[in-house]
A and B are shown apart, each in its own frame.
Chain A
Amino acid sequence: MANSPETGLVKDESVLVTEAKAGSYEAFEELVNRYEKKIYRLGLNLTGNAEDAEDMLQETFLKAFEHLPNFREDSRFYTWIVRIAINQGLMKLRKRRSSKEVQIEDASNDDGEVIPRDFADWRPNPEQEMERTELENILQTAARSLPMTFRTVFFLRDVEGLSTEETAEMLNLSEGAVKARLFRARLRLREELSKILKRG
């Protein structure tokens, strides 16, 4: 972390952006340090494999470096980075569109009712009981079962913490569509995980 020598406080993001724009590589690197883990995780969750996630991570920050002078700072830096990452991720997935596992759009499920079917309690703390990689595989498999639009909305809203408005703007959707997809994504993921994480 780049701390201010006088105060020991973590530098404000906007200060780092200003310094990076003025040519400070250290400032840019600090921005990368702050968000690289999140962008990598987003890549894994969106693309479903480590190789694509690494490509997405590199391309995102290389593009950010290249286009930093054009960043107008009318959004948070993180939101700007996520937008670049999403574009890179969707491009990757479109290239693999013929693959059966990739559902970019699934309008047929867009308006369908989501009815919970599994009412079994889950084991209490799967994150403590299971091996990390085992749980990661379960989460990734469940995420891959969602149509891409649902998956993207879920990860932007619930995991990356973007607002409904930011998510809608980023994905060219209405706020109502974001809310509807988030609702369905949450319940469908729950249903998928329930098959594996329920007791006994």
Chain B
Amino acid sequence: MARHTGRGISAIEYPTGMNQNGDPSQAWIKIKPDGRVDVFSGTSDIGNGSKTIQSQIVAEALGVPYEWITYDNSNTDSSPVCTGTFASRATFVAGNAVLKAARSAREKLLEIAGKELEIDPSDLDVVDGEVIAKGAPQKKISVPDVAAAATWVHGELITGTGAQLNPYAAIVEPDTGKVDIPPHAAISYAACAAEVEVDDETGEVVVKGLWQCFDVGRAINPTLVEGQIEGGALMGLGLGVLESCYPYYPSVEHRGSEFGSYLAPGIEGLPEFNTIVIENPSADGPYGAKGISEMANNPQPPAIAAAVYDAVGVWVTELPITPERVLRALDRKAAGDAGPRREGKAVIFDEELSVNTVAHPESRFRFPVGA
């Protein structure tokens, strides 16, 4: 009886935005008389950090400090449409909406500043909360002074609106699945290596290390990106080795109904994380960003499954890879029954799980096996 170490890898891709698109987000911005900025967006923050990310985008686009931004997503009377925080769309789609709103507010800001400085707005820039003349930075006016002038001198309100909508991609050939335009806003990519330790006596799989590389397009906030990747990895560990609503699926018996009877990852026993972020900018994302929030729990389960095979020579393809499943697979291997079956050029795994074995011979659900 021994503990065996193994390593496995995976490579994945994941789309940004709703599949087939057609999912709008809108935003608007107003600037107070002292230059402070109110952002109204309909994006729910589900812990993904969208309040922070969207505030950073607005600060960058307007050229004012992050601390000047107040972000309000609290209600539908003041905030416009956001399709929602799902489909890895809050940074890209809703982020583009606030970016466009900020750019439109910036235009209005420069128009007022141009009147104050008597300089054409196209010759002005905003840097760190000051409007400066390009090439002559001594000619400047602070954003608070511009906002005050707008309010008290010019009788204007500095606002901006923005909306992002990637058009709906229709399936033009229902028999082949062909679509007319790209059905995603962007695609993100990741690769992963997992190192596991498998106890051949207890069947327990412990994930010791995870090396993960994500192409995020552009990390608007590297700390939050790393949090997404490592937090998502914990969910991937749950999928891979711990969690199941139905421990005897497809049976519905023995469902866990409380934390004590449902095994989810905790903060204890974390693997060692090695996180690599690369930035191949998306052509259409805000500052090149793509969405990675959902895919963060996708690469671990297959890397773990391959690592378990590397460690003890059995494939477990029903998740989670529980001690019971590992031990049953080891028993089959010891009995010389671990598969695959070979027939001509066919290499056939998992026959016992297939519809061909489980379904009625006359069932619509059959799958061709064998070449």
A binds B: no
Q: Chain A: residues with CB nearer than 8 A to chain B?
A: none
